[in-house]
Amino acid sequence: MKKLFLAFMLLTPVAMAYGERNEIIVSPIYGKQKNNNDKNAPVKGVTGSGIKISLEGKGGVDDDVVMGLGMGLTYNSLKVKGKDINSNSGSLVSIPVYFMIGTGTDNGIYTKLSAGFAVRNGSVKWTDNNGGSGKIKARPLTGYAAFGVGVRKDRFSIGVSASTSTKAKRTYSSPTKHYRDNIMLSGAAISLDFGYALK
C-alpha cells in the first residue's frame, strides 16, 4: 500500500501539468454486487463501498471538446458473500492512470470518457462451514475505463460516473473441492463525483 501511495504522489505533477483546468475530484463509491452463477457458487466476490480522489488536467480542443490526463487513488472494502461463508474483511487499493475525452468546456453539462490502466493491490480471505478456505486477490495491473456525466459551474462540478470492474484471482480448497480461477470482483462501480478546479 505504501508503494502505491508513493506512485500516486510521484505521478501527481504529470496530471496537474496538463491543461487549462486542473481539477481535484472526490468520489464516494458504491460497489454493485456482481451476479455469480458459476459452478463454484456459493462464493461471491464483491467490491464494497469506498472513496476515490482524482486529479485531472484538461483543456479545450475546440468550442465543446475537452481532452486531458487524469489519475486517482481509490480505496474499496472487500467482502466475500455466500451461504455458510465466514469472511474476514479485506481492502483494495488502486491507482488508475487514464486519458480522457469529453464535451463541455464551459459552464453547463459535461460528459467524459476515460481509458487507461490501473495498478492494484488487495485481497480478502474466507472460510466456510464445509471445511474450506479461499482467497481472492486483485490482479496487479488491469485495464481501466469509465464514463461520467455531470454539471459544471465556474470552479465547481458535480456528476456521476461508472467504472469497469476489477479482475482478480480466486483460489479455494476444501475436502471435496479445489479450484483456481479468474473472476470480476463486482459489477460496475458507481460513484458520485464532486469536483473543484484549482485553476
The 10s digit of each residue's pLDDT in 41-57 is: 545 556 678 899 999 98
Taking the CA atoms of residue 110, residue 116, residue 122 and residue 123 in that order, the dihedral angle to the nearest 10 degrees is 100
Mean pLDDT (whole number) for 107-132: 90
Number of helices (H) and strands (E), helices first, in the chain? 1, 12
> And the C-alpha cell for 127?
472460510
Question: What's the pLDDT at 65?
Answer: 87
Mean pLDDT (whole number) for 158-186: 84
CB 113 within 8 A of CB 98: no
Question: What's the pLDDT at 47?
Answer: 65
Highest mean pLDDT: which range of 29-33, 47-51, 184-188: 47-51
Question: What's the pLDDT at 18?
Answer: 52
Question: What's the pLDDT at 180?
Answer: 87
Element (H, E) at 7: helix 2-16
For 166-194, give the DSSP string.
PEEEEEEE-SS-EEEEEEESSSPEEEEEE
Residue 80 clears pLDDT 60, i.e. is over it: yes
Mean pLDDT of the chain: 80
End-to-end CA distance of the chain: 30
| Residue that is written with C-alpha cell 469506498 in the block | 50
Residue 11 clears pLDDT 60, i.e. is over it: no
